Structure 1
């Protein structure tokens, strides 16, 4: 066990909580948002992507552009979270997966509303 892991354990953090938060972030931001965005862009031609960066990536690279951007954001957030683990900063440790889970949950719900509404 590394010193940063010991400091986080002393601060009341556990690897299990961390893993669960990242699984929720992956499910909502990584899977839910991607699947619903692809469904919207493919099956609802009257709608277009509202995010200008995503729209440009979808127009130039298709779904691979969307997935690439999501992977880059996910990797960046994971790096920030691991930095928080190394410095034993619980806020920096937990904020990225929590933020991705909230954003992913909101965008997935919004996309489903657009898809079925």
Structure 2
């Protein structure tokens, strides 16, 4: 599959391997850790309910698919922001999206695990 030229890093000062590493960590924390622990909380905890009203509404309407769909939409939006920033040679908005998702994902994963254990 060939990507449109606007979705490539060629011709930018940014390295594709670095991009992959940044987004791998964001995927592991926000994409996997947060989703798995949130599903565990929603499915197995009678004491805890989802605090985020948008996620709660998505789960109420579509179940776990709503949660995953919403997270995927956020994730893809952030990737597009990062790639667009690379095209504009803007290092702040190139690095900021994967860093924000990594921090959010790490925090929510650890918080969810604490809730599961308590």
User: Fold-level match, TM-score > 0.5?
Assistant: yes
Matches within 5 A, 1:41-52: 41-52=42-53
Q: Could you tell me which residue of structure 2 aligns to residue 24 of structure 1?
A: 25
Q: Show structure 1 runs of 4+ deviating over 6 A.
A: none
**CA offset at residue 7 of structure 1?**
4.1
- Segments of 5+ residues of structure 2 without an aligned counterpart are 1-5
Which string of whole-angstrom CA distances, capped at 9 and with x for unpartnered residues, describes residues 90-109 of structure 1? Answer: 11111101110010000000
Aligned-partner SS, 1:69:
helix
| Residue-pair matches, total | 111
Counterpart in the other structure of 2:112? 111
After superposition, residues 4-83 of structure 1 pair within 5 angstroms as 5-8=10-13, 13-83=14-84
Counterparts of 1:82-97 in structure 2, within 5 Å, are: 82-97=83-98
Q: Distance in 1 between matches of 2:107 and 2:47?
A: 22
Structure 1: any 5+ residue segments left out of the alignment?
none
Deviation string for 1:3-62 (max 9, x for gaps)? x64441xxxx42222111100000000000000000001010121000011111111110
> What is the TM-score when the length of structure 1 is the normalising length?
0.89
Quick check: 1:36–1:112 contact (8 Å CA) kept in 2? yes
Point out the structure with the larger helix share. 1
Task: Please give the root-mean-square deviation of Cα atoms over the aligned residues, in Å.
Answer: 1.5
